Amino acid sequence: MNSSIPKNEETSKKIICFGCSLLCDDVYIELDADEKLNKTINSCFRGNSFLKNAVSESRFQSSFQKDMGLYMNLSIDESLDFVKEEIEKASSIKFYGIGSLSYSSQLAVMDYIKKLTQSGKNVKVENCGNIIQITNKLGLNLSSLGQAINNGDVFIFWNTDPTHSHPKLVGKLLFTRGYFRSSGKEVKKLILIEEKESDLTRLKDINISDLDIEPAQIVESIGNLLASESVKGKNFLNLDELNLTKLKDYIGSTEYGLLITTVPYDIEDSNEWLSHVGKFLKLLNQHSHGRFSLLPLTQNINDVGFSFSVLSVFTPDEINHLFTREKNSEGSDLAIIFGGEYLHDEYKIKEFEYPEKRLILFDNFKSNVSKRAKITIPYAIPGIEVEDIAFRFDGINIDLKKWTNPPSDVSSAEAFFKRLIDKL
C-alpha cells in the first residue's frame, strides 16, 4: 500500500475500489507498458489485495465442474446448459450473496428470479431483508459520507470495527481530528461502545467497554444518564463520574452526530438491531443540541444496491415470500451463491455443508465453497473488468469504470443471467 497521490497522472489511473462498501474514489493504479498492474496507490491493505488478486494468476480463467473428485473446464455455453439443468432438477432454490454483485448484475439476477417464481419454482433469497428495512421502512436519519466527513462532530461507533471491514473509513471521518472551532473547542469526538479492544481504541475520547450487559440495557443506561440532572458520585457503564460527565456533555453539545454500526448479516439479528438503533437514535436526538444520523456499515459491497434492485423488480408482498428466515437445509436443495469477499470463508454458512445440498458458485477465487461446489463460474469483476454502478453504504451511486478485460471465457454476471433468462 502506498498512501501518496501519484506524481505522474499520465501513467496512473484513478479508479473506484470495489473492495468494500465504502467504494473509495481516491485510489490510483499504475499499469506497466503491457497494461499489467504495477502498483496501487492510496488503497488500504484490503483494497490493495483485492485489486492485486483480481489480476493475479489465482483468478479463475474459466468455469469448472467438479465430478467424482475430477475438475473439468467448461465454456460459457456449457456452463449455461449446466446451470439450466440443475435449476430444472431442483425442487427449491436459494440464492446467497447477491449483495456482492454490481447493480446491473443484481437486476438481471432479480429478473431471472422473478421469471423462476412465475414458472412455479420455489425460490428464496438469503439475507436481504435487513438492509431493505433500513432503506425502505425505518425512516431513520441516514447520513451521507460527505455530510459525515464535513459536518460530523461526535461519532459513536457501536459494536463495529471498521478498521477491518472498511479500512479507510475512520481516516476519512476523523482526518481533521484536532481541528478547532473559533471557540477553541475540538471538533471531532469519538465515543466507542465496544467490548473488545480494536485499532479504534487508541483514538477514542470515551470507551464504553468490558460490558456484560445487553444492547437494550446500554441504550437504557445512556438514556438515564442523559436525562439525569447530575452524575455526582455515579459510576456505571464502566465509566467513572468524570467520564460520565464527558459523555453527557459530548452528546448534549453535538451539532452533527453520527451513530456508526455494522448491519447484521442475519435477518433475525437485524430485527433486534433495528429496534435498538431506532431507540438509541431517538434518545440521542432528544438530548443533543443538533441531531444524530445513522451511518450503517453494510457487509456485502453492494447491499444497498441490492435493496434497490429488489424493490424495483418485486412488490412488497412478493418480497415477503422471497426472503427466508430458515436457518438450515430444509429450505432448498440447490444453492446459487455469489462469492464476494464476505461469503468466502468468513461466514462459514453451515447450509453449504449439508451433503444433500448442491452448490452452484459464481466466484473468481478459490475458497472452501469452491471446493464443495458442483460448478464454479467466474464473472467479470465490477470496477476492474466491467463497467457498472454500485451504491455506497450511504446510498450514493458510484460509477465503476473498467481498466482491463476479463479472461476470454468469462462474461459479466449480468450477461450470463440475461442469457439464462432466454433459456427459460
d(CA 12, CA 32): 10
Q: Taking CB under 6 A as the criterion, which residues in 28-57 touch ligand SF4?
A: 43-44, 46-47, 50
Q: Which region, judged by CB under 6 A, interacts with ligand SF4, from 22-30, 97-105, 321-329, 411-419?
A: 22-30
Q: How far is the CB of 19 from ligand SF4 (least distance, A)?
A: 3
> Looking at beta carbons only, is 298 or 307 nearer to ligand SF4?
298
Q: How far is the CB of 172 from ligand SF4 (least distance, A)?
A: 9
The count of chain residues that interact with ligand SF4, using the rule CB under 6 A, is 15
What SS3 class is residue 268? helix
Q: From start to end of 227-274, where are the E strands?
A: 256-262
- Regarding 17 and contact with ligand SF4 (CB under 6 A), the answer is yes
> Looking at beta carbons only, is 43 or 133 nearer to ligand SF4?
43
> Looking at beta carbons only, is 49 or 285 nearer to ligand SF4?
49
> Looking at beta carbons only, is 41 or 132 nearer to ligand SF4?
41
H or E element at residue 300: none
Q: How far is the CB of 42 from ligand SF4 (least distance, A)?
A: 8
H or E element at residue 295: strand 291-297
List the one residue from 15, 22, 192, 413 that touches ligand SF4 (CB under 6 A): 22
Q: How far is the CB of 395 from ligand SF4 (least distance, A)?
A: 16
- Regarding 23 and contact with ligand SF4 (CB under 6 A), the answer is yes
Q: How far is the CB of 167 from ligand SF4 (least distance, A)?
A: 5
Q: What does residue 48 show for φ and ψ, rounded to 5 degrees?
A: -60, -45
Q: Taking CB under 6 A as the criterion, which residues in 128-167 touch ligand SF4?
A: 166-167
The C-alpha cell at 224 is: 438515564
Cβ atoms of 128 and 307 within 8 Å: the answer is yes
- Regarding 304 and contact with ligand SF4 (CB under 6 A), the answer is no
Contacts of 171 (CB under 8 A, 6+ apart): none
> Looking at beta carbons only, is 163 or 261 nearer to ligand SF4?
163
Angle between helices 76-89 and 413-422 (to 10 degrees): 60
CA distances (Å), 119 to each of 87, 116, 336, 424, in order?
12, 5, 18, 9
List the one residue from 59, 94, 124, 168 that touches ligand SF4 (CB under 6 A): 168
Query: Pairing between strand 27-31 and 12-15?
Result: antiparallel
Smallest Cα–Cα separation from 112: which of 298, 310, 301, 402? 310
d(CA 227, CA 279): 14
Q: Which residues bind ligand SF4 (CB under 6 A)?
A: 17, 19-20, 22-24, 27, 43-44, 46-47, 50, 166-168
